[in-house]
Every structure is written in C-alpha cells, then in structure tokens.
Amino acid sequence: MNKLALYDTMSGKKEPFHPRNPPLVSMFVCGPTVQSELHLGHARTYIFFDALARYLRHLGYDVYYLMNITDIDERISQAAARTGEDPLEYSHRMVSSMMRDLESLNIHTVSRFEPVSAHVDEAIRQVNALLEKGFAYKADGWVYFDTARFKRWGRLSHQSKNDLSLRPLELSPRKRNLNDFALWRPEILVDGLWPSPWGVGSPGWHIQDTAVTIPILGPQYDIHGGAYELVYPHHEAEIAEAESVTGARPLVRHWVHTNLVKSDGLKMSKSLGNVVTVRDTLRTFSASEIRLASLSIHYRKEADLSGLASARRRLHGMRTIAKRFAGRAASVEPSLTPFERALNDDFDTPKALAWAEGALKSASKEADRDRAAAVAVPAIEGMKILGVDLFEGA
C-alpha cells in the first residue's frame, strides 16, 4: 500500500509500518490528565497524531483512533479543592474545555474518547488477574506490580538494571523493588473512590490505560502514541501490565513519541509558571497557524514558541498564492509524490511543508495558468491532508 516508515521507540530505529490487520489501523494516544486546560505541549502532540491519522486515511487505511482521558488523579482533586468545586464537576468542566480546544485546533480524527473513570471495573479485573498470576502483591491496602517478575522491564526506555536502580518510583517501604508501581491505591490520596477487593481506593495511573485499551482494542494493537516524557515509567508499565495480563506480545507494533515544547527555554510546567494554554494562544493565532507551527518542526525534535510568528508569515504567503487556484482544485489530478515521500520517511512534516511552500512559489512564477495549477494544486491538497486549509479565511 505504501512505504511508510516510522521511528519506533522500542527498537530505536525507523521501522516499516506494518499494521496487524490492514487496512485496519488501531491507534491509541494518551489523552490529558484533566487537572487544568490544555497547553501548547498537548497541542503539539495531538496535532501530530491528528495529522498522522489523516495521512494514514489518505493512504487508504481505516484508522480507529482511541484516546483516553485521565479523570482519576489526585492532582484533579487538589485543583478542584482550590476552586471549591466537586472533583467530578471540575473534571467534567475540564473535559468540555479540552473538547472545545481540540475542536478549535481542527482535530477531528479521534474515533472514540474514553474517560478512565468509566473503566474502573476493568482495572480491578486486571489487577486481580495480575495478583492471581503472581505479577502483583498486596501491601497495606495498596497493590503493586512486581517489576522483578517482568523480564522485559526497562526495554522500551532502553535502560539497564543499573540505570533503573537510579530511577526509583514512588519511594515506599511497602515495596519489594524500587521500580515497582502502584496498581491500586487506597483512599488516602484520591478524588474518586471505588470499592475493591483490597478496600476503597482508585486504580493507579498506568492500569487506567490498559483498562481502556484491552477491552476496546484487544490485547495487541498497532500504534501507541504520546509525549516522550511518558515513555518511562508510564508506557513501560503499560507493557508490563498488559503483556502479563493477556500473555500476548508485543502489546504494540509501533511506539511513537513526540518531543516537548519549550517556553522561555524550559519545559512548560505549572511550577515554573511558563505554561501557555491553547485557549490563550487561540486569541492571537489561528488554528491553522498553530498547526503549521507544530508541524514545522520534526515531531522528534524539541520545539519552542518562536515558530508561531513565522508560521503566520508562511501561511499568509501560501494562502495569497493558493487563492489564485481556488477554482482549479478539482480539475487537476494532484501528484503528491514528493510530499508522500517526505511523510513516508518518519513523517517528516518540515520537509513536506517546505515542498508545498516551494511548489506554491514556483506556481506563482509560472505564466501558463494550466501549468501553474498543475504545480499548485498538489501543494494545496497536501496541506489539506495535514489539516491546514489554504482557502480558509482567503
């Protein structure tokens, strides 16, 4: 069908894209924890996976794109306590705000959003299975995953036993190993409380994802995406849980991770006070400008906010030329070869965009209208595949 290759975090190299059951592609991307509004780091990740899903559909794949929404987390309770809201009411408000932001960013490819609070029964079932199979143990109302029992622990993040020993998770005297992580947490920390065989509490963060994916996508699926910072321990833990519960491996064929967006030269974080929200950015920049800025840097490289101003200039230039070909779009069969070649090579959007921009510039210099249209129309079509409509606002 194509020669698409994507960099796989697990193998550490570009791998030919081979979904399990073509033309079906099952893709899961970690959605946000709805403790606050979406920021530009989220926007970059979700714009990237939206563009990837659009491109896969353009290639003829039937993409089923699942995103979870983490609405169980003590940070949500803390945020709700600050605003004086009920945690559930607070997370509902944040989910609506997130949906509005995704809609504003022209992200329409997600087939299904799943709040993890709707999958607690499944999380309990999985924790039980892990206990029965000896991959988990109970300690004072907590249940932990025993990482010593899982041989492939550390493989996704390429860490040796020594590396891992330097990165303990959740320090606690209850744990058998430093890297063990909580599958079930007792009520002391929690916002939503559920009864379980181990007492009242809530599922740990990592099992919340497998509780959503296993019933919907099955024990194995094609693409797991998310921000790079989720590789360890979050995605490492998902592999350990899912493969231990189902016995099927690998959990995922292609692990795809986006790099971060820096603000003032630093990673955006609430504690540094340098978070730029999607909502605030949309007051100054259009969705297309934000999309173009996000896709102008390769997804595996760090980005910063300086791309927004240049995206505005580039988009304006491209739209000015595209306008002349508005009526021609349907009359020419577009040849997208260089565009597809760029995207097939680990989704090199900067290269694909540069080609589209270059094609429009040469079209603007071409005197013959038909020849000019034959050059411009594929560029316009290519931009549309990436979710940037050059006729919008023209």
Task: List residues binding Zn ion (CB under 5 A).
Answer: 30, 209
Q: How far is the CB of 208 from Zn ion (least distance, A)?
A: 7
257 versus 314: smaller Cβ distance to Zn ion: 257
Which uninterrupted H or E stretch holds 100?
helix 87-104
Instruction: Dig out the tokens for 98 from the structure.
Output: 């997130």
Q: Which residue is nearest to Zn ion (CB)?
A: 30
3-state helix, strand, coil in the chain (%, to 5): 50, 20, 35
For the four alpha carbons of 256, 261, 265 and 266, in that order, the dihedral sign comes to negative
Q: How far is the CB of 209 from Zn ion (least distance, A)?
A: 4
Instruction: Dig out the tokens for 199 from the structure.
Output: 């007492």
10 versus 353: smaller Cβ distance to Zn ion: 10
CA dist 315 and 31 (Å) reads: 28
Instruction: Dig out the tokens for 248 from the structure.
Output: 């099927």
Q: How far is the CB of 30 from Zn ion (least distance, A)?
A: 3
Q: How far is the CB of 19 from Zn ion (least distance, A)?
A: 21
Instruction: Dig out the tokens for 227 from the structure.
Output: 């921000």
201-203/221-227 β-pairing: unpaired
Give the phi and the psi of residue 158 in degrees, each rounded to 5.
Answer: 55, 50
Q: How far is the CB of 278 from Zn ion (least distance, A)?
A: 19
Q: How far is the CB of 7 from Zn ion (least distance, A)?
A: 19
209 versus 381: smaller Cβ distance to Zn ion: 209
Q: How far is the CB of 392 from Zn ion (least distance, A)?
A: 32
Q: How far is the CB of 356 from Zn ion (least distance, A)?
A: 33
Q: How far is the CB of 70 from Zn ion (least distance, A)?
A: 7
**Which single residue is written with the structure tokens 């622990």?**
153
212 versus 318: smaller Cβ distance to Zn ion: 212
207 versus 315: smaller Cβ distance to Zn ion: 207
252 versus 315: smaller Cβ distance to Zn ion: 252
> Rounded to 5 degrees, what angle do the CA atoms 231, 257, 113 make?
90
66 versus 386: smaller Cβ distance to Zn ion: 66
For the four alpha carbons of 204, 208, 211 and 214, in that order, the dihedral sign comes to negative
**Which single residue is written with the structure tokens 């959740």?**
170
Q: How far is the CB of 224 from Zn ion (least distance, A)?
A: 9
- Which strands make up the sheet holding 221-227, listed edge to edge? 112-115, 62-69, 24-29, 221-227, 252-258
CA dist 18 and 36 (Å) reads: 36
70 versus 196: smaller Cβ distance to Zn ion: 70
Q: How far is C-alpha 385 from the geometric centre of its chain's CA atoms?
A: 18
> Which amino acid, 262?
K
30 versus 131: smaller Cβ distance to Zn ion: 30
213 versus 244: smaller Cβ distance to Zn ion: 213
How many other CB atoms are found less than 10 A from the CB of residue 229?
A: 13
For the residues of 239-305, what is the DSSP string, one character each? HHHHHHHH--S-SEEEEEEE--EEETTEE--GGGT---BHHHHHHHS-HHHHHHHHHTS-TTS-EET
191 versus 289: smaller Cβ distance to Zn ion: 191
Q: How far is the CB of 255 from Zn ion (least distance, A)?
A: 12
CA dist 144 and 146 (Å) reads: 6
The contacts of residue 358 (CB under 8 Å, 6+ apart) are: none
